[in-house]
């Protein structure tokens, strides 16, 4: 074995060269984009464009060469895969391989250092870099465990950590791969693993994968794409262990090794230029690059201790530097430029070596301490004081969960921390201690399961945790005489099925709008208007206090289908542009003001063909409404456009496309957690039930629901920039109507708080003094809108006083913003009167004979 040990001294040399290549790659790519070779992506430009930029453009030849070498450094991780396979094999062949012991040692090798550096980076990212990092979010927990198996996780926080996920997969497969090698021989082993790799990479090229990111897939999102680089290392390790003469002879001829490796690497580099070639390129590149590094080490460094020893030190400390350096480069990159940036980056990399070295030493010393004092630690942490601590944490977690339920949502992070700490403590106790009282042992088992689940799901569900923990006691007591496994299984099954059936019942019989809009089933994403109603569909919508149907025509409008291709001389088309008040939300269409107005005008003008075309869509703001009018005005050919303008247009106009779609519930961020958990009914129903019984008023909800942020004296929604946006919106709408021979009218809809009495508003904010003119200005939105319209010569219909004085009250639903049936009747009468008083329905002069 001494001979073998000498032969693999160069392994640390390979690691050193690989980490230097990777560091150079990260250094170079901080100054600009990377190349169009190496692992491919679906957004590659045409081949000719890729070839033009294959060698860096601009700058001196030295700078371009350094940049090019940095690009090539992107291929460095493959060397680590090969070396890992080699060293694992040499070690495993020295003694019988115990699979579980192998896993334990491997995880102990990577996890303590990885988790330590992960935590350090998270703290730096949160409090120094000011990145949006959440310590106990699902992505963070999965990242901490090295489980980076989705697109959103693969480069999460620190892109370099993708390597951990790949190496974990390789460690898991290693015992089975070694068994395949021993049982089936070298040839079969290489053919099988080569075939898996090629097939995996081919699936990526053809798009037959669970990921839509080809670069991530080929880099190692699925280990199959990098498998042969690892298994070739296993093959080399197997030959080295068995003192293979051919390999020994090849490695001893350093010049030949260098030339052959250069040839292999060159083939791989050329293959990496195309999609088809990239199926094979990584294999050739990794093998060739490893051979080049070996030859350089043997030819230049081996017999020169002054340069060999520092190089070997770099190799031995490569893992900690690999984990540590990149986030600091990412943070510094946008802050610096030019030479200053280069100097600072070199300092950061140098400090990463120093910091990584000492962090690893501290971690290893801590592990040795634990292993040395294992028995004493077990005895201490399984004592009575720790049992008391665990049960205290269980009770505390239940209490904080209850507080979270009744409105103290700021305690969510505290709850996550308590759950995490108690989960670790509970697992430790269950592994190291048997309880004398069976019930307590089972309770801790159920607690561990619940704590794990509730650590991962969304925050609204954590408000239910306390209840399930209490309910778990009942089946545990009933099943106390059963074996532990069956008792826990029955308890968890009952909790799970009971929750599922309860959720199904609530969704069917008493759904509440939560996490997504209640109108979501009737809506679709739209490339022009961000979202729209689904055409030719009747949707039964039941949520909150609403139970109604939305029926759309072929254009996605809620008004009946009409033939728009021909327009009679005596036909008048009135187009309603607006939001939920117009759609309408909460009432059937034949109770809505557009329908009622149409019926009234048809009676008032029997010699005319009156068509009120309702384009109102729930949630539409100025951005969507202009896009909608621009899209349909030439098709509809309206004579009059009524723009129903709600008070919240001042906030809607600054909502982004992504925010709008996410709020609706389209989940464009591809978050499965949000999609499947954030609109569940149990948490919100439970909260409402408990808070009502305890007479707890959710002031934040009432403040938001009554739209008080739009009436604040210093509201940001009435800043100059927002007012300018609204002003520009009116200009665009008026000009669009003028170009298409249509009159443009703005009908202002006030908030409920401007019209209804407090007793008619279930969410009235009694805790605020709305008469305090230093705090609130309830008349500003309508006054400002009227001023803008007056300046532009736009007819402005302010419905506030009319609705407020309407004899039948209330005209709004008491539990929501919108008009009830009486409100729609009132508005239809108001508009009818406006049409009659202003003689809006007239014929062109040449057709006045029709009047007689």
pLDDT in tens, 689-732: 998 888 888 888 899 999 999 999 889 999 999 999 999 999 99
Whole-number Cα distances in Å, 633 to 536, 561, 628, 685: 20, 16, 8, 44
- Map residue 325 onto helix, strand or coil: coil
In which band, very low, low, confident or very high, does the pLDDT at 51 lie, cut at 50, 70 and 90? confident
Dihedral, 39, 42, 47, 48 alpha carbons, nearest 10: -110
* Segments making up each domain of the chain, as ranges: 2-369, 380-509, 561-654+698-851
pLDDT score for 96: 81
pLDDT score for 752: 95
Residue 809 has pLDDT above 70, yes or no: yes
Residue 326 has pLDDT above 50, yes or no: yes
Residue 475 has pLDDT above 90, yes or no: yes
Mean pLDDT over 451-479 rounds to 88
Kind of pairing, strands 530-533 and 523-526? Answer: antiparallel
- Asked whether the beta carbons of 573 and 844 are under 8 A apart, the reply is no
Query: Where do runs of H (alpha helix) occur along 128-213?
Result: 138-144, 151-154, 162-206
Spatial distance between the Cα atoms of 646 and 754, rounded to a whole number of angstroms: 12
Whole-number Cα distances in Å, 404 to 397, 400, 456: 10, 6, 16
* Lowest-confidence pick of 429-433, 625-629, 738-742: 429-433
- Asked whether the beta carbons of 570 and 609 are under 8 A apart, the reply is yes
Spatial distance between the Cα atoms of 365 and 369, rounded to a whole number of angstroms: 6
- Map residue 40 onto helix, strand or coil: coil
- Asked whether the beta carbons of 136 and 455 are under 8 A apart, the reply is yes
Whole-number Cα distances in Å, 686 to 209, 406, 470: 41, 9, 15
In which band, very low, low, confident or very high, does the pLDDT at 141 lie, cut at 50, 70 and 90? confident
Spatial distance between the Cα atoms of 447 and 455, rounded to a whole number of angstroms: 12
- Map residue 465 onto helix, strand or coil: helix
pLDDT score for 782: 94
Spatial distance between the Cα atoms of 95 and 386, rounded to a whole number of angstroms: 40
pLDDT in tens, 529-571: 999 999 999 999 999 989 999 999 999 999 999 999 899 999 9
Residue 662 has pLDDT above 90, yes or no: no
pLDDT in tens, 598-617: 999 999 999 999 999 999 99
Spatial distance between the Cα atoms of 746 and 733, rounded to a whole number of angstroms: 10
pLDDT score for 846: 43
Phi-psi category of 433—alpha, beta or left, where left has phi over 0 and alpha has psi -120 to 50?
Answer: beta
Mean pLDDT over 565-590 rounds to 95
Structural element, H or E, at residue 524: strand 523-526
Spatial distance between the Cα atoms of 593 and 578, rounded to a whole number of angstroms: 12
CATH architecture, domain defined by 561-654+698-851: 3-Layer(aba) Sandwich (3.40)
pLDDT score for 228: 98
* Lowest-confidence pick of 130-134, 459-463, 507-511: 459-463
Spatial distance between the Cα atoms of 619 and 517, rounded to a whole number of angstroms: 9
Residue 408 has pLDDT above 80, yes or no: no
In which band, very low, low, confident or very high, does the pLDDT at 132 lie, cut at 50, 70 and 90? confident
Q: Write out the DSSP string of 389-443.
A: HHHHHHHHHHHHHHHHHTT-GGGHHHHHHHHHHHHHHHHHHHHH---SSHHHHHH
Spatial distance between the Cα atoms of 839 and 220, rounded to a whole number of angstroms: 71
Residue 124 has pLDDT above 50, yes or no: yes
Mean pLDDT over 359-384 rounds to 85
In which band, very low, low, confident or very high, does the pLDDT at 35 lie, cut at 50, 70 and 90? confident
pLDDT score for 413: 76
- Asked whether the beta carbons of 43 and 34 are under 8 A apart, the reply is no
In which band, very low, low, confident or very high, does the pLDDT at 3 lie, cut at 50, 70 and 90? very low
Q: Which of 395-404, 630-639, 837-846 ranks highest by mean pLDDT?
A: 630-639
Does 50 or 673 have the greater pLDDT score?
A: 50
pLDDT in tens, 277-293: 999 999 999 999 999 99
pLDDT score for 201: 96
**Mean pLDDT of all residues in the chain?**
91
In which band, very low, low, confident or very high, does the pLDDT at 160 lie, cut at 50, 70 and 90? very high
For the record, the structure tokens of 185 come out as 């021989």
pLDDT score for 431: 75
In which band, very low, low, confident or very high, does the pLDDT at 437 lie, cut at 50, 70 and 90? confident
For the record, the structure tokens of 204 come out as 């990526």
Q: If 0-12 CB within 10 Å is exposed, 13-18 middle and 19+ buried, where does residue 588 land?
A: middle
- Asked whether the beta carbons of 17 and 297 are under 8 A apart, the reply is yes
- Indicate the pTM of the whole model: 0.67
Instruction: Tell me whether the omega of the peptide bond preceding residue 584 falls within 30 degrees of 0, making it cis.
Output: yes
Spatial distance between the Cα atoms of 494 and 512, rounded to a whole number of angstroms: 25
pLDDT score for 385: 81
Does 257 or 58 have the greater pLDDT score?
A: 257
Residue 676 has pLDDT above 70, yes or no: no
- Asked whether the beta carbons of 223 and 169 are under 8 A apart, the reply is yes
pLDDT score for 672: 58
Go through 508-547 and write b for each residue having 16 or more CB atoms within 10 A of its CB, e for each that does not: eeebbbbbbbbbbbbbeebeebbbbbeeeeebebbbbebe
* Lowest-confidence pick of 458-467, 662-671, 741-750: 662-671
Mean pLDDT over 131-147 rounds to 86
In which band, very low, low, confident or very high, does the pLDDT at 665 lie, cut at 50, 70 and 90? confident
Structural element, H or E, at residue 645: strand 640-646
Q: With pLDDT > 90 as the criterion, what percentage of the chain qualifies? A: 71
Residue 322 has pLDDT above 90, yes or no: yes
Spatial distance between the Cα atoms of 794 and 349, rounded to a whole number of angstroms: 64
Query: Which residues, 6 or more positions from 775, have their beta carbon under 8 angstroms from its beta carbon?
Result: 712, 713, 768, 769
Kind of pairing, strands 640-646 and 743-749? Answer: parallel
Structural element, H or E, at residue 744: strand 743-749
Whole-number Cα distances in Å, 140 to 157, 158, 168, 455, 838: 9, 11, 17, 11, 63
Residue 844 has pLDDT above 80, yes or no: no
Mean pLDDT over 212-216 rounds to 92
What's the alpha-carbon Rg for the chain, to the nearest Å? 35
Residue 674 has pLDDT above 80, yes or no: no
- Asked whether the beta carbons of 630 and 623 are under 8 A apart, the reply is no
Sign of CA dihedral 102, 103, 104, 106: positive
């Amino acid at each position: 074995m001494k001979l073998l040990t000498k032969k693999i001294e160069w392994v640390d040399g390979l690691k050193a060269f690989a980490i230097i290549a990777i560091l150079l790659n990260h250094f170079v790519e901080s100054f600009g984009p990377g190349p169009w070779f190496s692992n491919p992506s679906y957004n590659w430009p045409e081949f000719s464009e890729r070839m033009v930029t294959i060698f860096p453009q601009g700058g001196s030849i030295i700078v371009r060469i350094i940049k090019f070498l940095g690009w090539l450094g992107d291929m460095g991780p493959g060397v680590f895969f090969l070396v890992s396979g080699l060293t694992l094999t040499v070690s495993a062949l020295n003694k019988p391989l115990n699979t579980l012991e192998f896993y334990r040692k491997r995880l102990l090798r990577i996890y303590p250092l990885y988790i330590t550096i992960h935590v350090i980076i998270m703290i730096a990212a949160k409090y120094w870099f000011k990145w949006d990092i959440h310590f106990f979010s699902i992505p963070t927990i999965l990242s901490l465990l090295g489980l980076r198996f989705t697109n959103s996780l693969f480069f999460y926080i620190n892109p370099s950590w993708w390597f951990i996920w790949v190496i974990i997969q390789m460690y898991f497969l290693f015992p089975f791969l070694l068994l395949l090698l021993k049982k089936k021989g070298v040839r079969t082993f290489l053919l099988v693993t080569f075939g898996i790799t090629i097939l995996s990479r081919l699936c990526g090229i053809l798009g037959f994968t669970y990921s839509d990111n080809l670069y991530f897939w080929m880099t190692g999102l699925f280990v199959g794409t990098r498998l042969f680089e690892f298994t070739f290392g296993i093959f080399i390790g197997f030959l080295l262990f068995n003192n293979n003469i051919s390999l020994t002879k090849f490695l001893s001829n350093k010049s030949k090794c260098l030339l052959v490796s250069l040839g292999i690497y060159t083939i791989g580099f050329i293959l990496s230029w195309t999609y088809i070639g990239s199926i094979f390129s990584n294999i050739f590149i990794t093998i060739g690059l490893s051979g080049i590094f070996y030859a350089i080490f043997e030819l230049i460094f081996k017999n020169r201790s002054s340069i060999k020893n520092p190089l070997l030190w770099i190799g031995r400390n490569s893992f900690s530097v690999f984990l540590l350096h990149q986030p600091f480069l990412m943070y510094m990159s946008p802050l610096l430029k030019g030479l200053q940036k280069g100097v600072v980056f070199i300092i950061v990399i140098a400090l990463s070596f120093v910091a990584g070295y000492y962090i690893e030493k501290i971690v290893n010393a801590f592990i040795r301490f634990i292993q040395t004092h294992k028995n004493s630690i077990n005895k201490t942490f399984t004592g009575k004081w720790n049992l008391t601590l665990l049960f205290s944490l269980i009770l505390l977690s239940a209490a904080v969960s209850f507080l979270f339920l009744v409105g103290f949502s700021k305690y969510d992070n505290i709850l996550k921390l308590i759950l995490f700490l108690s989960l670790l403590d509970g697992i430790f106790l269950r592994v190291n201690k048997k309880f004398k009282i069976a019930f307590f042992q089972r309770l801790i088992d159920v607690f561990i399961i619940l704590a794990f689940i509730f650590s991962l799901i969304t925050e609204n569900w954590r408000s239910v945790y306390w209840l399930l923990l209490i309910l778990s006691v009942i089946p545990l007591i009933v099943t106390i005489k059963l074996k532990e496994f069956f008792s826990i299984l029955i308890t968890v099954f009952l909790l799970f099925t009971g929750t599922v059936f309860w959720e199904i019942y609530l969704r069917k019989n008493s759904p509440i709008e939560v996490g997504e809009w209640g109108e979501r089933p009737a809506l679709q994403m739209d490339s022009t208007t961000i979202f729209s109603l689904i055409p030719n569909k009747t949707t039964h919508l039941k949520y909150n206090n609403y139970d109604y149907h939305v029926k759309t025509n072929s254009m996605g409008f809620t008004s009946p289908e009409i033939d728009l291709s021909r327009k009679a001389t005596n036909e008048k088309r009135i187009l309603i542009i607006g939001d939920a008040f117009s759609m309408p939300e909460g009432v059937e269409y034949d109770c809505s003001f557009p329908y009622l107005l149409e019926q009234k005008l048809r009676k008032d003008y029997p010699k005319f063909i009156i068509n009120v075309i309702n384009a109102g869509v729930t949630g539409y703001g100025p951005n969507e409404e202009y896009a909608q009018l621009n899209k349909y005005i030439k098709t509809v050919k309206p004579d009059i456009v009524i723009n129903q303008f709600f008070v919240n247009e001042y906030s809607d106009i600054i909502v982004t496309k992504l925010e709008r779609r996410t709020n609706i519930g389209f989940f464009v961020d591809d978050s499965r957690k949000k999609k499947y958990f954030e609109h569940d009914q149990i948490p919100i129903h439970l909260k409402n039930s408990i808070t009502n019984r305890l007479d707890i008023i959710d002031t934040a909800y009432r403040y938001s629901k009554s739209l008080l942020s739009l009436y604040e004296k210093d509201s940001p929604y009435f800043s100059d920039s927002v007012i300018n946006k609204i002003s520009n919106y009116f200009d665009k709408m008026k000009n669009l109507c003028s170009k298409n021979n249509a009159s443009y009218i703005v009908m202002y809809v006030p908030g409920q708080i401007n019209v209804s009495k407090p007793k008619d508003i279930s969410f009235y904010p009694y805790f605020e003094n709305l008469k305090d003119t230093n705090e609130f200005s309830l008349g500003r939105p309508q006054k400002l809108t009227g001023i803008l319209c007056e300046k532009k010569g736009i007819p402005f219909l302010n419905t506030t006083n009319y609705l407020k004085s309407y004899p039948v009250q209330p005209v709004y639903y008491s539990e929501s913003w919108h008009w009830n049936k009486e409100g729609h009747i009132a508005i239809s009468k108001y508009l009818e009167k406006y049409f009659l008083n202003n003689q809006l329905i007239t014929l062109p002069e040449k057709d006045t004979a029709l009047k007689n």
